[in-house]
Amino acid sequence: MMYAKNLQNPYHNFRHVFHVVWLCYTACLFYGTKLTPREMRNLLIAAMFHDFDHPGKTGNDDLNIEIAIRGLRKHLAQEDVGHLSDIEALIRPTQFPYVIDVSTLSLSGQILRDADASQAFSVAWVQQIVFGLAEEMGTTPHNVFAMQEGFLTGLHFATEWGCETFTQKIIDEKVEEAKGYMGIIQE
C-alpha cells in the first residue's frame, strides 16, 4: 500500500481501503471453514487493492477498476501470482454503480461488495463519506447528506455476515441520523 497514490484522497483513501480490509477480515472470522485459507487470502488482497491508485474523482469507475487491477498486477507478491485471475474477479464487482449482479458472485465476492458498501457505518462516516465524497464528487456536503437516505434505504447486504453485522435496525438508525444532520444543516 505504500506505493498507492490515493492514500490522502478525501474518500478513496487509506482509511477507506483498510476499513474494507478490516471488515473482510471480520467476515473471514465469521465464516471460518466456509472459506479456505486461499480464499481468505485472495479476499484480503482484493480488499487491499480494490481502490488502489483511485484518482479521487467520481465517475468512470470502470476505469478506476482497471487502474486498481494494474496496481495489483504490478505489486502482487510472487506467491500469489497463480491466483491473479481469482483476485481480479473479486475486485471487478466493486465497480459502482454496480454492473455485476451480486447473486452471481462467490461468497468472497459478496463479502467484498458488502464491506465496500458499509463505510456509512463507520464512526467517521460524516468526515469520510459526507465531506470526503463531496470533495471527490465536486459537490457540497449538504448534497451528499441529502443522498444518504436514498443510498441507505436501498442498501441490501448479500451475505449472512453483512445482514448480521449491519441489521435493518442499524440501517434505519443511520437513516434517522442522516435526517437529523439534514435538519441541523437546514436550520
Q: Tell me whether residue 9 is in a domain.
A: no
List the CATH number of the domain containing 125. 1.10.1300.10
* Residue 63 pLDDT grade (very low, low, confident, very high; cuts 50, 70, 90): very high
Q: Is 28 helix (H, G, I), strand (E, B) or coil?
A: helix
pTM: 0.94
Q: Tell me whether residue 3 is in a domain.
A: no
The number of beta carbons lying within 10 Å of the beta carbon of residue 124 is 13
The number of beta carbons lying within 10 Å of the beta carbon of residue 56 is 18
Q: Tell me whether residue 159 is in a domain.
A: yes
Q: Tell me whether residue 68 is in a domain.
A: yes
Asked whether the predicted pLDDT for residue 74 surpasses 80, the reply is: yes
Residue of 34, 36, 93 whose CA lies nearest to 65: 93
Q: Tell me whether residue 36 is in a domain.
A: yes
C-alpha cell at position 79:
506467491
Asked whether the predicted pLDDT for residue 1 surpasses 90, the reply is: no
Q: Tell me whether residue 49 is in a domain.
A: yes
Give the pLDDT confidence of 4-56 residue by residue, as tens digits: 999 999 999 999 999 999 999 999 999 999 999 999 999 999 999 999 999 99
User: What is the percent of the chain with per-residue pLDDT over 90, rounded to a whole number?
Assistant: 86
Structural domains in the chain (count): 1
Angle at 114 (CA atoms; ends 10, 103), nearest 5 degrees: 135
Round to whole Å and give the CA distance between 173 and 175: 5
Q: Mean pLDDT across the chain, nearest whole number? A: 94
Task: Output the CA torsion sign for 60, 58, 56, 14.
Answer: negative
pLDDT the model gives residue 52: 97
- Compute φ and ψ for 140, nearest 5 degrees: -100, 155
pLDDT the model gives residue 187: 52
> Which domain covers residue 67, as residue numbers?
14-186
Q: Tell me whether residue 8 is in a domain.
A: no
Cis peptide before 10 (omega within 30 of 0): no
R_g over Cα of the chain? 16
**How many alpha carbons fall within 13 Å on the CB side of residue 139?**
13
Residue 59 φ/ψ region, left for φ over 0, alpha for ψ in the -120 to 50 degree band, beta for the rest? left
Give the pLDDT confidence of 102-121 residue by residue, as tens digits: 999 999 999 999 999 999 99
